[in-house]
Amino acid sequence: MEAIGPSTAFYVVVLLWIGRVIIWTFICTLLAWLGIRVLDALTPHIQERERIGENPISVGLFIGGFFILVGLVIHGVVTGPAVAGGGVLASLIDPKRLGLVAVSFLVALLLGIALLRIVDKMTPKIPFLSVEQNPVAVGVYVFGYLIFFGLILHSALTMYLL
């Protein structure tokens, strides 16, 4: 397999760039969907996916959060470091980067849920579980989660790896 480097034609570099954006966007979108599924499982008293669909505003918030997440992912892929001088596969998807994204996903999800529960216990006069009572509140909650997760993914995609 031929190495990607300074002698590579510009159109090949552009095609690889587009390929990277598409591949990473789909990987990160899958992780966001999985994260919402896990969020449903870890917070059984808040049925995120069911409640969001009850109100067009909450659906709009979900879609808005999703677009911000995808924008952060695309920005991270475009501005993050890429493997140069390696093969085509390495230039599209770096195994180290994939591992970092996977670990970031797990740590962000677990840390986010743990901190949410700690803050909930520390602020007994603010009933966190009351978001379940209103689909718009659930939409705002998931909107925030999607942005939180988008920022985590963005940092994993742009972080310099040795």
| pLDDT recorded at residue 2 | 58
d(CA 4, CA 96): 18
| pLDDT recorded at residue 60 | 96
The CA distances from residue 132 to 8, 78, 83, 85, 119, in Å, are: 54, 37, 45, 51, 17
Tens digits of residue pLDDT in 52-100: 889 999 999 999 999 999 999 999 999 988 766 667 777 788 888 899 9
Tens digits of residue pLDDT in 13-52: 788 889 999 999 999 999 999 988 888 887 777 777 788 8
Cβ-based burial of 113 (10 A; exposed 0-12, middle 13-18, buried ≥19)? middle
| pLDDT recorded at residue 57 | 96
d(CA 96, CA 162): 9
- Please give the biggest Cα pair distance in the chain: 64
Residue 120 pLDDT class (50, 70, 90 cuts): confident
| pLDDT recorded at residue 75 | 96
Share of the chain above pLDDT 90, in %: 48
Judge contact between 16 and 90, C-beta under 8 A. Answer: no
**Confidence check: pLDDT of 143 > 90:** yes
Judge contact between 61 and 142, C-beta under 8 A. Answer: yes
Q: What is the DSSP letter of 133?
A: G
